[in-house]
């Protein structure tokens, strides 16, 4: 084994897990590590602000299984808190590497720039929002701590925090003998019984249904659930957080289930089922239609990462993967998909030259526009909620639809396209969210990326207005389509009519000229049926 320093060991472990880019913003405590990263073939993608780097690393991790954001101490690390909290909440394995003052200089001088209360402040913050938080302050244990933290990230699918005092970078590391971490295994007895009971219930059911959730994405079980559906002919609904887990073109695809916010035929099918198999579904407020879902627990089988429940009883230590593999091997009684609803492809109506663009028409055209070489990235707001009715086919669909942090989509697209250069990002973002982080299109331009950016300009926080309106929901009306003049890069167009959108989307197919921004100028008050259903529920919660 080649001799390692703590710095080279850390980098090589990241590379071994498929990391090829690192996101961040430079600062003096981390400059030498940046240099080392580049020397070892991991280029730094420096974003406008650290927040953007955090979201980019998150999207990178959602697509590749691991993402890295590397920043300086305090002023860098603490700008990441929200992005990493979102990664924690939505189970995305992001590695935060923070440069830090050297141990030597800390002893000599307590009032070092970028420090808060004491040398542990940033660590304590990240302990709240990560699966593991370590400081590489001991050469004897540093390599072990790196292994342990990375293993925690990959098994739990959660972010971790690694703090690197700058004078430890070149200290020799002591790797342990290569010991593969033992992944948690299912208990054979629990697994047998859980599969037997689930199979019996599904087989006996008149109208079973599968609801596919987010963990199928995080743990990479998309093919398993498709296989199960194909073998059993049990129809599958997905959830907003699990959107794209199942190909929406599949014959067994039912539609998106979201409680009272679902389309009637999907809701009736799922809630009328006598056996609902929930696979990797989290009961979040948004995914349950702000708690309007009516699922009788006695009729449900729910399988998550490490446990299965059937009716009101639970099986511990049953891994989702094992459960799915075993279910796929069950010989279910023959069924057909006759009578199973399938989401209709919205009818195309020829548009008149003056037909004003609407959210509904926008998403209809986007549904037709999508090709399999795109990844859809949606920001919270109608940009995301309207996508409930967008058939994404085989496309990856990235959206923080549980934690719901605004500002995710534009920097997320930077991470997504670098993670999968074969996929062109289609960004869906509201004007409020765009004003937060939209300038990260600068980063896209700098690194030669070419996302399509759909800005839903509805004059402010349109998701808040139906809940409770005030001038605080207004924002300055930027002329979003002038952005290329400021950046000296990209293309942009303002869209007022349905016909203009058709032309703009046609032009968007032309690649090689950087980002292409479409400013969709919506009428005040226009929103998708999905958002109307959601905000009615949220307003009831707010007034409660």
Closer by beta carbon to its own copies, 24 or else 425: 24
To the nearest whole angstrom, how small is the minimum distance from the Cβ of residue 35 to its own copies? 6
- Checking DSSP bridges between strand 307-310 and strand 300-304, what pairing results, if any? antiparallel
Closer by beta carbon to its own copies, 58 or else 361: 58
Closer by beta carbon to its own copies, 467 or else 504: 467
Closer by beta carbon to its own copies, 46 or else 395: 46
Closer by beta carbon to its own copies, 55 or else 363: 55
Distance CA 261, CA 270 (A): 13
Closer by beta carbon to its own copies, 232 or else 437: 437
To the nearest whole angstrom, how small is the minimum distance from the Cβ of residue 125 to its own copies? 5
To the nearest whole angstrom, how small is the minimum distance from the Cβ of residue 109 to its own copies? 6
Closer by beta carbon to its own copies, 144 or else 478: 478
- Evaluate whether 69 touches 96 at the Cβ level (below 8 Å): yes
Q: How many CA atoms lie within 13 A of 304 on its CB side?
A: 12
Strand-pair partners of 429: 455
Distance CA 483, CA 444 (A): 13
Q: At what angle do helices 409-419 and 50-64 cross, to 10 degrees?
A: 50
Closer by beta carbon to its own copies, 28 or else 274: 28
Distance CA 130, CA 286 (A): 23
Closer by beta carbon to its own copies, 89 or else 303: 89
What would the two tokens of residue 320 be? 């989702």
The C-alpha angle with vertex 180 and arms to 174 and 185, in degrees rounded to 5, equals: 145
Closer by beta carbon to its own copies, 35 or else 371: 35
To the nearest whole angstrom, how small is the minimum distance from the Cβ of residue 34 to its own copies? 5
To the nearest whole angstrom, how small is the minimum distance from the Cβ of residue 472 to its own copies? 4
What would the two tokens of residue 10 be? 């850390």
Distance CA 162, CA 118 (A): 17
To the nearest whole angstrom, how small is the minimum distance from the Cβ of residue 129 to its own copies? 6
Q: At what angle do helices 498-508 and 359-369 cross, to 10 degrees?
A: 30
To the nearest whole angstrom, how small is the minimum distance from the Cβ of residue 396 to its own copies? 22
Nearest Cα neighbor of 168 from 6, 34, 32, 12 is 6
Contacts of 69 (CB under 8 A, 6+ apart): 22, 23, 24, 50, 53, 54, 56, 57, 80, 83, 94, 95, 96, 97
The per-type count for the chain, helices as H runs and strands as E runs, is: 20, 19
- Evaluate whether 399 touches 354 at the Cβ level (below 8 Å): no
Strand-pair partners of 517: 453, 492
- Evaluate whether 267 touches 388 at the Cβ level (below 8 Å): no
C-alpha pair distances (Å), 323 with each of 224, 316, 386, 417 = 10, 12, 33, 33
To the nearest whole angstrom, how small is the minimum distance from the Cβ of residue 235 to its own copies? 25
To the nearest whole angstrom, how small is the minimum distance from the Cβ of residue 5 to its own copies? 16
What would the two tokens of residue 121 be? 């402040």
To the nearest whole angstrom, how small is the minimum distance from the Cβ of residue 435 to its own copies? 4
Q: Give, rounded to a whole angstrom, the gap between the first and last alpha carbons of the chain.
A: 63
């Amino acid at each position: 084994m080649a001799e390692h320093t703590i710095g080279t060991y850390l980098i090589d472990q990241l590379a071994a897990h498929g990391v090829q880019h690192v996101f961040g913003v430079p600062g003096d405590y981390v400059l030498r590590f940046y240099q080392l990263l580049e020397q070892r073939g991991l280029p730094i993608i420096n974003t406008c602000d650290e927040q953007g780097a955090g979201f980019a690393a998150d999207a990178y991790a959602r697509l590749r299984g691991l993402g890295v954001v590397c920043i300086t101490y305090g002023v860098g690390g603490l700008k990441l808190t929200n992005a990493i909290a979102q990664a924690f909440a939505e189970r995305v394995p992001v590695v935060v590497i923070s440069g830090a003052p050297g141990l030597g200089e800390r002893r000599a001088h307590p009032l070092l720039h970028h420090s808060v209360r004491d040398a542990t402040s940033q660590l304590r913050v990240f302990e709240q929002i990560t699966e593991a938080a370590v400081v590489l302050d001991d050469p004897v244990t540093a390599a072990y701590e790196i292994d342990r933290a990375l293993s925690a990230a990959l098994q739990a699918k959660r972010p971790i925090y690694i703090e690197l005092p700058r004078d430890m970078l070149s200290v020799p590391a002591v790797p342990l003998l290569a010991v593969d971490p033992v992944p948690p295994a299912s208990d054979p007895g629990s697994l047998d019984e859980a599969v037997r009971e689930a199979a019996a219930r599904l087989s006996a059911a008149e109208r079973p249904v599968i609801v596919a959730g987010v963990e199928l994405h995080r743990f990479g079980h998309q093919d398993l659930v498709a296989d199960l559906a194909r073998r059993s002919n049990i129809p599958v609904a997905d959830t907003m957080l699990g959107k794209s887990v199942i190909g929406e073109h599949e014959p067994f695809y039912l539609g998106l289930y979201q409680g009272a916010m679902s389309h009637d035929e999907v809701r009736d099918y799922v809630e009328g089922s006598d056996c609902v198999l929930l696979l990797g579904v989290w009961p979040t407020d948004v995914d349950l239609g702000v708690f309007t879902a009516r699922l009788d627990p006695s009729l449900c089988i729910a399988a998550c990462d490490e446990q299965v429940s059937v009716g009101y009883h639970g099986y511990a230590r049953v891994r989702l993967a094992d459960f799915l593999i075993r279910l796929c091997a069950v010989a279910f009684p023959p069924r057909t998909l006759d009578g199973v609803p399938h989401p209709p492809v919205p009818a195309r109506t020829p548009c008149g030259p003056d037909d004003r663009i609407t959210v509904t028409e926008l998403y209809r055209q986007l549904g037709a526009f999508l090709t399999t070489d795109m990844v859809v990235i949606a920001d919270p707001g109608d940009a995301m909620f309207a996508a409930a009715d967008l058939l994404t086919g085989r496309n990856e669909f990235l959206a923080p639809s549980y934690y719901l942090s605004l500002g995710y989509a534009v920097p997320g697209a930077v991470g997504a396209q670098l993670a999968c250069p074969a996929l062109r990002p289609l960004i869906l973002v509201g004007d409020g969210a765009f004003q937060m982080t939209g300038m990260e299109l600068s980063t896209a331009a700098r690194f030669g990326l070419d996302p399509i950016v759909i800005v839903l300009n509805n004059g402010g926080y349109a998701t808040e207005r139906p809940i409770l309106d005030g001038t605080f929901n207004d924002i300055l009306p930027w002329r979003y389509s002038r952005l290329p003049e400021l950046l000296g890069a990209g293309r942009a167009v303002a869209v007022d009519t349905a016909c203009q959108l058709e032309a703009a989307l046609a032009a968007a197919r032309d690649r090689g000229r950087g980002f292409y921004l479409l400013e969709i100028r919506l009428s005040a008050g226009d929103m998708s049926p999905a958002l109307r259903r959601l905000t009615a529920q949220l307003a009831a919660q707010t007034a409660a």
